[in-house]
Chains A and B, each alone.
Chain A
């Protein structure tokens, strides 16, 4: 038995040697794996890059598997996804892993980038590594967007509409660019095929190429050392100092540092699987039928912040901002290592850098959070789905109750909330009578303004009277009514400000 084992081991070694004599990869790979790494960098802070690579491999594997069943045709894509979800063994799980893997990859790439920024790792001689990394971030976001398009549901369809509409704002050639993006005059089969090409061939190819160069440069230039306050980077001496320090205190990457990468990668993969198992696949949502307009399109999580920014930009600033802001942001990221290639690496000596990062992160988080509940949009079904709170109907006159009906029937609730339910586009109306007089209400309702449509054409005089008489009863926690102070100056008798405890609002 022992002889058999030793004989088969010998055969395997011989086979390995036969291959390596021809491939010659054994020595360079061993050297690459054991390349000296600053012992300070064998840290849990240095695991995000390898985790992003592992997630990319997961996306490639799950993507190839989904490609076995997915049909990249506008007529069949949606139903082929439903088929994967319901008819293919564990198809739903594969789709869920691909979807959650995408979100995880975007987050891990961003965290990796933040870590590199805070640790000053983009400085000499690693400028190009950072620049390629910026492209890797853009490609990752490109994969997320094109992936959302391939999930050819209503969100994907109207997301393409939003994209086309942005492209259509390009001066001079916008119209032609829209046709180029869509592959024709409308969103259809050729549009989906284009994005399939991007998602499956072009962007992954670029990702492979750029990731390979990125990792090659990490090996060639060495892992960034742990920054120390006061240790400045100088192009004259940095590389010599780095290699001298490594020769003295360096540790081989495998196994001294690599075990942390491996543990973190396993944790990330387990997290993706856990999310896939607990939350399931992303859609597909409604069928991509343009005649079904009862839809509220929304982009996927990585793009919610853009969706929110587009809602808040002033109309005149929108087109310039859409085209100038990306150039400034991406250009700034690309130029950063060239502008700040020397000097201090430690965060405690780079207050502007840390503040810039904190501000960017908070801004992104706030806009993303706003994107989850879109306070700028009318709630399209609030007028029929959100009843008037019963407390606002107690002890009201017939005219006031008629006004409450008008408020519902004319879709006011789509933009105005009562009792915390309804749209957030306009102000809540629970205490409107404490802020506006009767005259102001009539003017506002009939003429609109301040981002409110005019209802003069949609309300009869009787409806207006009823509506305003109801609004005048909405005084929050029984607060006093708004009073027109000029009224007393122009009228001999002071206006009667009725104190009506019976018509109080909530509580």
Chain B
């Protein structure tokens, strides 16, 4: 059954030139050289090709974290009663068309008094789970590993090694603005300066309606 198919006619000799004269050593070494040259050529092409691939793949890492950020509005300050902490949300300044609901981020806004605010990321400083505010006990609690924070964002207990991430804010014609745009982690903090605000040190009354930022963050 496995016999080869019968050949219909006597075929002419394959590769007549080769058959005529066996390659001498000169030809062989020339071919080996040409083969090496062809490898080199492809290596060069590969190196050139790697540039756009590398650029495309690692593009997100070239940008500095701060360049992702811009000032976004959280709404009029009248939305945030004095002495209370409320959840606010904003559309991330940089989004892709396919982001859907994930392009909208949340943050905790604590209005201390007047134009004095603290705006915290919802992300726990331990492993980024969303912390919840409990006004009765004035604590933020994290559902993942039990990180707990006081109302001013400082660490109360649990695995976090620091307080909540805090955004830089400003009050602009009665609008609360924050400088946001990237998910905070221990490397990409929400604010590049002092992670924790000492409420006592901030001089009340210095923040006016048009002040760009409060004095906790020197420009």
Contacts and interface: CB of A to CB of B under 8 A. Distances in A.
Interface stretch (B35-43, B78-86, B97-105, B210-218): B97-105
B182 interface: yes
A161 B128 contact: yes
A448 to B, nearest CB: 7
B157 A458 contact: no
A295 B130 CA distance: 8
Given A165-B185, A188-B99, A290 B148 contact: no
Contacts of B131: 293
Given A74-B100, A185-B65, A291-B104, A451 B188 contact: no
- Counting chain A CB atoms within 10 Å of each CB, the highest count among B130, B134, B138, B159 belongs to B130
Interface string A174-210: 1111111011111111101100000000000000000
A14 B151 CA distance: 83
Interface string B117-157: 00000110011111110101111011111101011000011
Interface size band for B: 35 or more
Nearest to B189: A175
B206 interface: no
Contact of B89 (A157, A287, A291): A291
Contact of B146 (A162, A311, A383, A448): A311
B65 A175 contact: yes
Given A158-B130, A183-B60, A289 B102 contact: yes
Contacts of B103: 186, 188
Nearest to B156: A453
B46 to A, nearest CB: 20
A458 B182 contact: no
- Counting chain A CB atoms within 10 Å of each CB, the highest count among B131, B181, B185 belongs to B185
Contacts of A448: 156-157
B187 A169 contact: yes
Contact of A184 (B60, B89, B122, B146): B60
Contacts, number: 224
Contacts of B181: 185-186
B94 interface: yes
B77 interface: no
A393 B104 CA distance: 46
Contact of B132 (A170, A176, A288, A293): A293
Nearest to B123: A161
> Which secondary structure dominates where chain B touches chain A?
loop
Interface size band for A: 35 or more
B112 interface: no
Contacts of A13: 1
Contacts of A180: 58, 60-61
Nearest to A414: B141
A157 B97 CA distance: 18
A169 B188 CA distance: 10
B99 A74 contact: yes
A179 B98 contact: no
B37 to A, nearest CB: 31
A315 interface: yes
Interface string A399-443: 000000000011110110000000001000000000000000000
B136 A409 contact: yes
Contacts of A166: 127
Interface stretch (A57-65, A233-241, A335-343, A373-381): A373-381
B16 interface: no
Interface string A262-301: 0000000000000000000000000111110111110000
Nearest to B131: A293
A413 B89 CA distance: 29
Contact of B144 (A14, A164, A297, A458): A297
Contacts of A414: 134, 141
A188 B102 CA distance: 5
Contacts of B143: 295-297, 377-378, 380
Contact of B1 (A14, A174, A310): A14
B150 A453 contact: yes
A457 B150 contact: yes
A255 interface: no
B76 interface: no
Nearest to A176: B61
Nearest to B140: A453
B146 A186 contact: no
Contact of A178 (B89, B142, B160, B185): B185
B185 A174 contact: yes
A74 B102 contact: yes
A150 to B, nearest CB: 14
Interface in A301-325: 307, 310-311, 313, 315-316, 318
A21 interface: yes
A21 B2 CA distance: 7
15 contacts: A158-B129, A164-B183, A169-B185, A185-B183, A186-B92, A186-B182, A187-B183, A188-B99, A189-B96, A192-B98, A288-B100, A310-B145, A378-B148, A410-B136, A453-B150
Given A178-B187, A380-B143, 13 more contacts: A21-B4, A74-B98, A164-B128, A186-B105, A189-B98, A288-B100, A297-B144, A377-B146, A411-B139, A452-B157, A453-B148, A453-B156, A454-B150
Give 6 nearest A-B pairs by CB, closest first: A75-B100, A189-B98, A168-B185, A185-B182, A453-B156, A161-B128
